[in-house]
Amino acid sequence: MKIATFNINGIKARIGALTDWLSEATPDVAVLQEIKSVDDAFPRERFEEMGYQVETHGQKSFNGVAILSRLPLEDIRRGLPGDEGDEQARWIEATVMAERPVRLCGLYLPNGNPAPGPKFDYKLAWMARLEARVKELLELEEPAVILGDYNIIPQMEDAARPEAWRNDALFRPESRAAFRRIVNLGLTDAFRAMHPHMPPQPGPEQFSFWDYQAGAWDRNDGIRIDHLLLTPQAADLLRDCQIDSAVRGREKPSDHVPVWVDLAA
């Protein structure tokens, strides 16, 4: 079963690029971030025609997450627990009914800039809520994938120019420590499990985001911030993990590209 995460940066602007990629990559499940749409405005028919069940958790203008699945979805939940007053649409969960059911948690973690400041505080508070939810998921001892735009550069090798991100909310010590705390509960970073950092690399590192500005894509000045974290039961099913980098070089691209895992589920 192929499960992908893709920050599309606006469904309205990305409908063509997204359907093209779905047709080629044929993921069983695509977890989307930044749909930037309310639920009623999401073009669900376009994806239903392609055989996908569509579940959205949108809001006006910003944020918004969704799950597209060719297999049935059950027990859909919207919103990250832990703060009833949080209006931002950044979390959606569902169980994909494969031969071996897998719990999916799609997330769009807050950017957190500028740091320090209230937006950075919100990011860290959101990550504390994520940690609490991950602890619950791990106690179930079932296959689960927590995937999406984490807005975290985990290590130096995950940025082409780490020094440029030194004081950024994506790379600050507090952000990376919060990410490590979550991973260290017992999750596996699927990409690093399949592609360990082995300096000196024969080629450039792989990234999942390149800024629109300053020719970042042409210079491969990217960062790896879209992640798929696996519970032990999901990690035991891991067959492959790849980044579809070429999508970034097409017409009217998102600034992120899809990242996917193949699970023996």
Partner DNA sequence: ATGCCCATTTGCAATGGA
Measured from the CB of residue 62, what is the shortest distance to DNA in angstroms?
Answer: 6
Among 26, 48, 51, 60, binds DNA (CB under 7 A): 60
Catalytic residue among 28, 52, 149, 189: 149
Q: Residue 106 corresponds to which tokens in the numbers above?
A: 């799609």
Q: Check residue 13 for interaction with DNA (CB under 7 A).
A: yes
108 is annotated as an active-site residue:
yes
Sheet arrangement for strand 238-243: 53-57, 65-69, 29-33, 2-7, 259-263, 238-243
75 is annotated as an active-site residue:
no
In the complex with DNA, the residue whose CB is nearer, 62 or 194, is: 62
Check if the beta carbon of residue 199 is closer than 8 Å to that of residue 214: no
CA distance 189 to 228: 6
In the complex with DNA, the residue whose CB is nearer, 10 or 81, is: 10
Q: Check residue 176 for interaction with DNA (CB under 7 A).
A: no
Among 24, 48, 211, 240, binds DNA (CB under 7 A): 211
- Total number of residues that touch DNA (CB under 7 A): 30
DSSP state letters, 46-65: HHHTTT-EEEEE--SSS--E
Does residue 10 come out as left (phi exceeding 0), alpha (psi in the -120 to 50 range) or beta?
Answer: left
CA distance 149 to 34: 9
Q: Check residue 111 for interaction with DNA (CB under 7 A).
A: yes
In the complex with DNA, the residue whose CB is nearer, 5 or 95, is: 5
Measured from the CB of residue 57, what is the shortest distance to DNA in angstroms?
Answer: 16
Q: Check residue 53 for interaction with DNA (CB under 7 A).
A: no
Q: Check residue 10 for interaction with DNA (CB under 7 A).
A: yes
Among 49, 85, 199, 252, binds DNA (CB under 7 A): 252
Catalytic residue among 28, 52, 108, 158: 108
Site string for DNA, 118-157 (x = CB under 7 A): -x-----------------------------x-x------
Q: Which of 24, 23, 27 is nearest to 6 (CA)?
A: 27
Q: Check residue 12 for interaction with DNA (CB under 7 A).
A: yes
Check if the beta carbon of residue 32 is closer than 8 Å to that of residue 106: yes
Which listed range, 6-14, 99-107, 124-132, 232-240, lies at the site for DNA (CB under 7 A)?
6-14
Check if the beta carbon of residue 124 is closer than 8 Å to that of residue 174: yes
Q: Check residue 219 for interaction with DNA (CB under 7 A).
A: no
| Long-range Cβ contacts of 18-25 (<8 Å, 24+ apart) | 19/46, 19/47, 19/50, 20/250, 21/244, 21/247, 21/258, 22/47, 22/50, 22/52, 22/68, 23/50, 25/244, 25/258, 25/260
Q: Name the residues that contact DNA, by CB under 7 A.
A: 7, 9-14, 34, 36-37, 60-62, 110-111, 113, 119, 149, 151, 170, 209, 211-214, 223, 225, 252, 255-256
**What are the residue numbers of the active site?**
108, 149
